[in-house]
Amino acid sequence: MNSGSYVGLLTVLTVVVALSFLASLMVGTSGIGWPDVQGVLRSEADTTAALILWELRLPRALLGAVVGASLALSGACLQGFLRNPLAEPGIIGISSASALGAVVAIYTGLALLVPVALPLLAIGCSLLAVLALQSLARSGGALTLILAGVAISSLCAALTSLALSISPNPFASLEIVFWLLGSITDRSMAHFWLIAPFIATGWLLLALTARPLDALTLGTETAISLGVNLPRLRMLVTVGAACCVGAATAVSGVIGFVGLVVPHLLRPLVGYQPSRLLPASALGGAALLLIADVVVRLLTTESEIRLGVVTALVGVPFFFYLVIRSRSVFAQ
């Protein structure tokens, strides 16, 4: 694939992200739409429209873009590094571990005293999950990694439910659904600024893996002979993915399958080259989550459906397709 069509792909994805970001600003339960948004931008509109735009829809759109990009980027890196097509933060338990960390930070009251404890604990648990996965699946094949991930995921979901069930707060047990299925409804700019530094760090670390991941497609021995420092690469992927998934999950709950669907759809379009897949996946993930979040708002149900429900409905058929296609790999 030549670099001209690669630039074209990135341009198209950027336009889709920009359009879905605008759509996210214009859709909501109140009738505030495009004319009001224009009015607010010219600072003529009344304060209600301005409040809705700046304090409700902007943080929601920003979080949709940032969380989607982080999940897809982490998925693309993990798949490249572990050379496993099913390595996705949700499937292999990194998201559930992050949610457990966030739950501990919030429901013990720690995050109320020290807000930064929320992303830090989520990232800490996420890091533990990645390290556990790597040690569990070190010598095994593709299937070992997925099974270890399923075990970690189930354990963390169970502990999350347990922590929320034993909380004396009468609302806590109702919030199990939020942590297991995710949502970015009614968040504020405070949430965005809280996770922004960690997300930026994660993106930077994962960006540094682009070249070494290209070399790794030729096989571990070749990569080493080409000068790839494998322990350094492992550190970058581990800490980078933990920062991205941990910080994202801390404010949005577990949103699955974004890191699976996006890299797989884009891989053929970038000529199976990891260094090109990473930026494309980040853009694609942002677009997918923004669109899913607009869909959530357009489906008028009694209470809003969770973001994770939409991504799972899109992602699971895709997952089945990948399982069927990978049967030969797992049969080894």
Q: Interface mask (CB under 8 A) for another protein, residues 206-235, using x and -?
A: ------------------------------
Which stretch in 44-52, 127-135, 240-248, 316-324 sits in contact with another protein by CB under 8 A?
A: 44-52
CA distance 61 to 41: 16
Q: Does 300 bind another protein (CB under 8 A)?
A: no
Q: Which is nearer to another protein, 165 or 229 (CB)?
A: 165
Q: Measuring CA to CA, which residue among 99, 97, 61, 92 is closest to residue 74?
A: 92
CB of 44 to another protein, least distance (A): 18
The verdict on 46 binding another protein (CB under 8 A) reads no
Among 1, 7, 19, 51, binds another protein (CB under 8 A): 51
Output the CA–CA distances (angstroms, integers) from residue 145 to 59, 158, 235, in the order listed: 35, 20, 18
Q: How far is the CB of 303 from another protein (least distance, A)?
A: 6
* Rounded alpha-carbon distances, angstroms, from residue 299 to 102, 167, 304: 28, 32, 8
The residue (of 62 and 236) whose beta carbon lies closer to another protein is: 62
Cα–Cα dist 57/36, whole Å: 13
168 interacts with another protein by CB under 8 A:
yes
Is position 161 an interface residue for another protein (rule: CB under 8 A)?
no
Q: Does residue 55 touch another protein according to CB under 8 A?
A: yes
- In the bound state with another protein, the residue whose beta carbon lies nearer, of 60 and 267, is 60
For residue 163, the minimal CB distance to another protein (Å) is 10
Site for another protein in 18-37 (CB under 8 A): 28-30, 32
For residues 57-116, which are near another protein according to CB under 8 A? Answer: 106-109, 111-112
Shortest reach from residue 71's CB to another protein, in Å: 21
Choose among 200, 206, 199, 153: nearest CA to 180: 153
Contact criterion met (CB below 8 Å) for 65 and 192: no
Burial 157-195 (b: 16+ CB within 10 A, else e): bebbbebbeebeeeebeebbbbbbbbbbbebeeebbebb
Cα 332 from Cα 329, distance rounded (Å): 6
Q: Is 268 in the site for another protein (CB under 8 A)?
A: no
Interface with another protein (CB under 8 A), residue total 31
User: Can you read off the two tokens belonging to residue 244?
Assistant: 């991205």
Q: How far is the CB of 189 from another protein (least distance, A)?
A: 8
Q: How far is CA 106 from the centre of its chain?
A: 20
- Residues lying near another protein in the complex (CB under 8 A): 28-30, 32, 47-48, 51-52, 55-56, 106-109, 111-112, 167-172, 174-175, 178, 185-186, 188-190, 303
